[in-house]
């Protein structure tokens, strides 16, 4: 079935549009805190869990500004002991969410995999002040940094266990950390529409939790950890939801449309995760080019984000929250058998510009971390407690060795915007239609260094590169005869 996405949204009542700005209908908002219908969590160094919510049937539509809340409990916490764990500072507790799914009428409507990594990327486009003052409060992160009297830029050390602002989980669920994330970040469908809540079928949300210690926690303090202490649990997940009730005539008209043979078709965005790998480079000063076939022939595509992690530079502290800069990196996308760019993108300034255009907002990163590449040691994971020196803006390379071993080259995400219109018109209607030929992402790198302050021809920089590629495509929600269905557009 083919759907004209440019016209299909005309059938969508303004009461269901998330971007409606001129409405005169009377409405009432009811807020509900809903506990999980089922929740289980298996503790361990490689722990995991799952939660299921069957949403209450209230009002006319489910608003997109709800939130998922959860507590994290660490049984090994000991008051007065200088041993504590903290969330990875650049992303906070969001790494504890692995996957999420939303069902309507038994149909999978929206799914996001590796939620923590994707939301961490999205949060990079939030201004720094908001990251430090709002996101850190919601997710228990710590984005703060400062200039030392030597002129170097340092990440602020974490607050100690006996100080105000201590952000480690404790062993008491009544006095432990609690995180919060908006549900429209979990489910992209809610960025484009509100879901009717009056259908006879249920709306179900499932959350997969990541309990792997090295993906979520960072160890700090002077007292050593044992394996038995590297265990935490997610407790009391719940949803804070807003239901909107419109005037009777509006609600009745909406229900009549949904239950009619013609029904309505609502286009919305969906994120698809593709995993790929660039193999190990054999030889010094050797160029490597890799074509990754993305597919999506005959589909409408909006955006593409690419996260790269060198396997030889793996660091548990940053694996979930960063993207490696590759030596002499180049980017190209082939769409409909044509290059998207007139030449390979090989300048860091261009890569950053395209990333900003993809998100329609600047990427607010720690200074100088996007344009740096180099080795990343696996030994020092204690960035939270001690602080880490970042590259300074002087012409000298003094004290950058510690930077190269801890943080350098870990913020270079790639972004490609295929939408016809950007900014406030970032909607599924502006996606590009891919023809019969699949899209191909072409990445190039070299084992040799391309700059004077880069380390090349090492086992680390030659190592394989794990690629997580998020493709934002378009689907359509079909509501007809009271039945829910989805189609690819």
At 279-295, the pLDDT tens digits run 999 999 999 999 999 99
Of 353, 308, 352, 323, nearest to 443 by C-alpha is 308
Domain range enclosing 183: 5-17+25-488
Which of 2-16, 80-94, 117-131, 222-236 is predicted with the least confidence, judged by mean pLDDT?
A: 2-16
Residue with the bigger pLDDT between 239 and 22: it is: 239
What's the rounded Cα separation, in Å, for the pair 111 and 123?
Answer: 19
Q: Which of 122-136, 153-167, 363-377, 402-416 has the highest mean pLDDT?
A: 122-136
Predicted local confidence at residue 162, as pLDDT? 65
pLDDT band, very low/low/confident/very high, at 131 (cuts 50, 70, 90) = very high
For residues 397-410, average pLDDT: 43
Instruction: Find tokens 């998020």 and name the residue.
Output: 470
Predicted local confidence at residue 398, as pLDDT? 34
Predicted local confidence at residue 6, as pLDDT? 43
Predicted local confidence at residue 78, as pLDDT? 86
3-state class percentages of the chain: helix first, strand second, coil last, to nearest 5: 20, 35, 45
For residues 432-461, average pLDDT: 86
DSSP state of 279: P
Q: What are the contacts of 397-402 at 24+ separation with CB within 8 A?
A: 397/453, 399/152, 400/453
pLDDT at 138 exceeding the cut of 80: yes
Is-contact 209 48, C-beta < 8 A? yes
Residue with the bigger pLDDT between 159 and 357: it is: 357
* Beta-strand runs (E) in 247-279: 264-278
What is the percentage of the chain residues whose pLDDT exceeds 70?
81
For residues 324-329, average pLDDT: 89
For residues 53-57, average pLDDT: 93
Residue with the bigger pLDDT between 482 and 125: it is: 125
Predicted local confidence at residue 5, as pLDDT? 43
Maximum CA pair distance of the chain? Answer: 72
Consecutive H or E run containing 448: none
Average pLDDT, the chain: 82
Residue with the bigger pLDDT between 201 and 475: it is: 475
pLDDT at 119 exceeding the cut of 80: yes
Residue with the bigger pLDDT between 103 and 8: it is: 103
Of 457, 419, 200, nearest to 327 by C-alpha is 457
Predicted local confidence at residue 124, as pLDDT? 92
pLDDT at 15 exceeding the cut of 90: no
The pair of three-digit structure tokens given for residue 159, joined into one six-digit string: 């607050």
The pair of three-digit structure tokens given for residue 172, joined into one six-digit string: 């008491």
pLDDT band, very low/low/confident/very high, at 360 (cuts 50, 70, 90) = confident
For residues 210-215, average pLDDT: 90
pLDDT at 392 exceeding the cut of 70: no
Predicted local confidence at residue 379, as pLDDT? 34
Predicted local confidence at residue 203, as pLDDT? 93
**Number of domains present in the structure of the chain:** 1
Predicted local confidence at residue 14, as pLDDT? 64
pLDDT band, very low/low/confident/very high, at 250 (cuts 50, 70, 90) = confident
Which of 125-134, 189-198, 444-453, 469-478 is predicted with the least confidence, judged by mean pLDDT?
A: 444-453
Consecutive H or E run containing 72: strand 67-73
Cα–Cα distances (Å) from 423 to 10, 184, 233, 433, in that order, read 21, 18, 40, 20
Predicted local confidence at residue 222, as pLDDT? 72
Residue with the bigger pLDDT between 24 and 157: it is: 157
Which of 48-52, 97-101, 165-169, 387-391 is predicted with the least confidence, judged by mean pLDDT?
A: 387-391
Q: Which of 75-89, 181-195, 244-258 has the highest mean pLDDT?
A: 181-195
Phi then psi dihedrals of residue 249, to 5 deg: -65, -35
The pair of three-digit structure tokens given for residue 291, joined into one six-digit string: 């074509």
145-157 pLDDT per residue, tens: 777 676 666 667 6
- Count the neighbouring beta carbons within 10 Å of the beta carbon of residue 153: 18
What's the rounded Cα separation, in Å, for the pair 338 and 427?
Answer: 24
For residues 154-170, average pLDDT: 74
Predicted local confidence at residue 468, as pLDDT? 94
Residue with the bigger pLDDT between 261 and 317: it is: 261
Predicted local confidence at residue 113, as pLDDT? 94
For residues 132-152, average pLDDT: 81
pLDDT at 259 exceeding the cut of 90: no
pLDDT band, very low/low/confident/very high, at 85 (cuts 50, 70, 90) = confident
3-state secondary structure 185-213: HHCHHHHCECEECCCCCCEEEEEEEEEEH
Sheet holding 97-104, edge to edge: 38-42, 46-54, 203-212, 97-104, 107-113
Predicted local confidence at residue 393, as pLDDT? 35
pLDDT at 307 exceeding the cut of 60: yes
Predicted local confidence at residue 370, as pLDDT? 83
DSSP 3-state assignment of 115?
helix
Which of 205-209, 221-225, 249-253, 321-325 is predicted with the least confidence, judged by mean pLDDT?
A: 221-225
Q: What is the CATH number of the domain that holds 480?
A: 2.70.9.10
What's the rounded Cα separation, in Å, for the pair 158 and 87?
Answer: 11
């Amino acid at each position: 079935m083919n759907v004209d996405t440019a016209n299909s949204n005309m059938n969508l009542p303004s009461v269901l549009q998330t971007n409606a700005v001129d409405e005169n209908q009377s409405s009432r908002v009811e807020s509900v805190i809903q506990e999980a219908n089922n929740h289980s969590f298996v503790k361990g160094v490689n722990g995991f869990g799952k939660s299921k919510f069957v949403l209450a049937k209230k009002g006319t539509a489910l608003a997109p500004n709800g939130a998922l809340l959860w507590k994290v409990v660490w049984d090994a916490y000991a008051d007065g002991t200088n041993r504590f764990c903290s969330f990875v500072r650049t992303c906070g507790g969001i790494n504890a969410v692995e996957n999420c799914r939303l069902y309507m009428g038994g149909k999978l409507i929206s799914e996001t995999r590796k939620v923590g990594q994707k939301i961490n990327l999205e949060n990079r486009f939030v201004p720094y002040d908001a990251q430090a003052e709002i996101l850190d409060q919601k997710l228990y992160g710590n984005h703060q940094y400062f200039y030392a009297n030597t002129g170097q830029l340092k990440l602020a050390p974490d607050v100690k266990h006996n100080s105000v602002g201590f952000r480690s989980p404790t062993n008491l669920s009544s006095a432990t950390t609690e995180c919060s994330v908006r549900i429209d970040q979990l489910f992209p469908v809610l960025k484009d529409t509100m879901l009717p809540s009056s259908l006879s079928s249920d709306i179900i949300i499932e959350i997969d939790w990541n309990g792997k210690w090295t993906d979520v926690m960072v160890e700090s303090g002077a007292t050593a950890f044992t394996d038995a202490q590297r265990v935490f649990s997610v407790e009391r997940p719940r949803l804070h939801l807003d239901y909107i009730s419109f005037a009777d005539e509006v609600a009745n008209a909406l229900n009549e449309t949904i239950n009619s043979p013609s029904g309505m078709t609502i286009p919305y965005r969906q994120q698809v995760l593709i995993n790929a790998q660039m193999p190990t480079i054999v030889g010094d000063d050797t160029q490597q080019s890799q074509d990754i076939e993305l597919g999506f022939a005959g589909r409408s595509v909006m955006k593409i984000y690419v996260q790269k992690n060198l396997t030889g530079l793996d660091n548990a502290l940053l694996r979930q929250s960063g993207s490696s800069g590759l030596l002499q990196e180049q980017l190209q996308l082939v769409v409909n058998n044509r290059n998207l760019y007139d030449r390979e993108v090989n300048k860091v300034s261009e890569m950053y510009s395209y990333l900003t255009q993809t998100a329609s907002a600047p990427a607010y990163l720690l200074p100088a971390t996007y344009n740096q590449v180099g080795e990343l040691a696996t030994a020092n994971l204690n960035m939270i407690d001690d602080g880490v020196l970042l590259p300074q803006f002087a012409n000298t390379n003094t004290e950058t060795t510690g930077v190269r071993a801890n943080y350098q080259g870990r913020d270079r995400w790639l972004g490609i915007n295929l939408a016809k219109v950007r900014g406030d018109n970032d909607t599924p209607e502006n996606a590009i239609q891919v023809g019969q030929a699949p899209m191909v992402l072409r990445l190039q790198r070299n084992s040799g260094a391309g700059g004077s302050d880069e380390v090349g021809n090492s086992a680390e920089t030659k190592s394989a590169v794990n690629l997580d590629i998020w493709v934002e495509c378009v689907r359509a929600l079909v509501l007809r005869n009271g039945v829910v269905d989805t189609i690819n557009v």
